[in-house]
Structure formats: structure tokens, C-alpha cells
Amino acid sequence: MLELLLVIFIGWSLGGNDAANVFGNAVANRVIKFRTAAITASVFVVLGAVIGGGKGIANYNSFVIVKSDNTSMIIIFSAAIIVTIMTYLKIPVSVTHTIIAGIAAAGLKNGAFKTEPLVPIVISWVLSPVGAAFLSYFLYRMFLAYVKKYINNIEKMENFVKYGFMIIGIYGSYSLGANNIANVVGIFAHDKRLSINEWAFVGSLAIALGIVTFSRRVMDSVGKDITQMTNIGALIAVAASSTIVLIYSFAGIPVSTSQAIVGGVIGVGLSEGIRNMKVSVILKIISGWVYSLLFSGIGTYLLLCILGG
């Protein structure tokens, strides 16, 4: 029962923070109403988690250094607190980072710290935003070269932007569910009390709850603040980051959608000219990731000392 509550807590906080990575630009620029975005994201996060999240959930136990129920609960609790606070402060944060920091802290506390299980995830911290940046840069150049000339009046532009944001939003929500469900339930799913699909369903409902009730705060932060992007640029950034996240879900490695979208936005920004990017905002977001790592690691360590694990 306690594990279920923690799954709901972490899922809710993840939904509150990460939905902005998919629909943030559309809602902030008033292309799509928040209510429509929240409902759409919720439905497709659940589908993504159930249909595409199995490999990540099954794989997750290989990242966990200290395999103990008590330790797992403390890790998740600590991570959920950090993510909730960061969401309240409107800072996009990586749920993957916070959980991995907790796993590493648990390893340190128990004198069992090992780097090998965490290597694939840490590598993904570099490769996912870089990959998203490259992909968005490439997609944007392709768009300018081959597609732009067909969108030559206001009506076509309106249709392209509105339908584009909805389609990409659906795609992004699906990949968010497929990849990040492992962060929500992966640490508990090894005990086979529920099947992987059942875990995925429960966890994704928690994410959906977070999207509907708590995601509005972060939606303005992503995209709009880093660079003044056109609607097309925002579309491409989300498409690129969602693709990278989906690729990692096929590999069974949970990645940070927040990192991926920042990479996507940077790629578009580089296409439009580096002088348009607000480096200070990028640094602020990166520092948010570092703080979430530190606070989650320290928080987990302290909780383990107090509660034992």
C-alpha cells in the first residue's frame, strides 16, 4: 500500500513537471488551451506507458544498486519531494536525475556504491540533449529547405501550427509515457505483485493526475524563456526531443525529457542564430538539474540515516 502511494506521488510530480516539455510551448503561446493539452497528454501518456513502457520497467532493476524495499521507498519519496518543490518553483527538473541520485546515495550509504549499473543512464544525460539538438537542427533546416515554401499564406500557417502542435503533442505524450513510466514504477516492479502492464497502468494514471492538476506552473518556463522561437521552431524542438526519448524507451533506458527538450530548443536556436539564445536561462535550467541531483542525493542519504535502509 505504501509503495502504491509512493508510485502515485512520484507519478503525480513527474506529470506535473514533464508535461510542459510536450505541450508547454503550445499552451504558453495559446495555440492549444491548457485543458485540451492536459486531457490529450493524459490519454497518450497512459497509452505510451502501457504499450511502450514494458522494456524500461523490466530493465530498471539493473540500475538499482541496493535492492531493498525500504531503501526503494525512501529513494522514491525523496525524489518526489524534490520534483514537487521544483515544479512549484516553475523549474523544469529531471525526474531521472533525482531518482538516480537517490540510488547512488543509497549505494554510498550502504557502502555498496557501484558505477557500472549507472553508466548507461549517465551517458544518456549527455547523448539525449546532444542528440535532440542535432536532430532539431537537421529537421529545422529540412523544413526551411523543403516545406516552408508550401506554407505561403495565413490560413495554411494557422492550420499547420494548430494541427502540428496537436499531433506532435500526442507523439510527445506517448514517448513520455513509454520512457518515463520506468522512473515511476520500475524500482518496485521487480516483485511481481502486479504484472508489468498493471504497474504501467497504475503509474501512468498517476502521471495523468499530475498533468491535469499540477502541470500548468511549468508550462511557461520551457521554450519561451530560452529563445524567442517561432511556432514552427517550437514544433520541431518537441518533435526532435520526443523522438530521442522514444528511441531510448526502445532501449529500455529512462532519460530526462527536460534535458531532451532543452537540447531540441538549442538546436532550433542554433538554426536561427546563436545570438538569439539566452545563455543565462540555459544555465539556470542546467543548475536546476544539478541542484535536483544534489538535493535528492543528500535528502535520500539523510532519510536513509534517519529511517534506516
Partner 1 sequence: MKKMGKLRSELGRFMGKIEETYSAYKSVMTYYFVNGFNNETKSMAERVHEKESEADEIRREIIAELVRSDFLASTIEEFMHIVELSDKIADAAEKSVDNILCKSIDSSKINIAVLEEIVIITETQLGILKRALDSLFTDYDIAVSGAVELEVLEHKVDLLQRKQMWELLEHDMPLCDKMYFRDFIERMAVVSDIIEDVGDEIEKIAVKRRL
Contacts with partner 1 by CB under 8 A lie at 29-31, 148, 152-155, 157-159, 161-162, 230-231
Beta bridge partners, 227, equal 277
Provide the minimum distance between the beta carbon of 133 and partner 1 in the complex, in angstroms, as a whole number.
21
Nearer to partner 1 by C-beta: 31 or 104?
A: 31
Nearer to partner 1 by C-beta: 99 or 219?
A: 219
Beta bridge partners, 277, equal 227
Closest of 103, 104, 129, 130 to residue 257, by C-alpha: 129
Provide the minimum distance between the beta carbon of 30 and partner 1 in the complex, in angstroms, as a whole number.
4
Nearer to partner 1 by C-beta: 153 or 280?
A: 153
Give per-residue burial for 232-269: e unless 16+ CB within 10 Å, then b: bbbbbbbbbbbbbbbbbbeebbbbbbbbbbbbbbbbbb
Contact 166, 32 (CB under 8 A): yes
Helices (H), the chain: 2-28, 34-52, 54-60, 69-88, 95-109, 119-142, 154-185, 196-214, 216-219, 231-251, 257-272, 279-307
Contact 32, 165 (CB under 8 A): yes
Provide the minimum distance between the beta carbon of 233 and partner 1 in the complex, in angstroms, as a whole number.
10
Please name the residues in contact with 63: beta carbons below 8 A apart, sequence gap of 6 or more. 100, 103, 117, 118, 120, 121, 186
Provide the minimum distance between the beta carbon of 213 and partner 1 in the complex, in angstroms, as a whole number.
25
Q: What is the rounded CA–CA span in Å between residue 6 and residue 187?
A: 11
Provide the minimum distance between the beta carbon of 152 and partner 1 in the complex, in angstroms, as a whole number.
5
Nearer to partner 1 by C-beta: 60 or 137?
A: 137
Nearer to partner 1 by C-beta: 162 or 190?
A: 162
Provide the minimum distance between the beta carbon of 222 and partner 1 in the complex, in angstroms, as a whole number.
18
Nearer to partner 1 by C-beta: 265 or 293?
A: 265
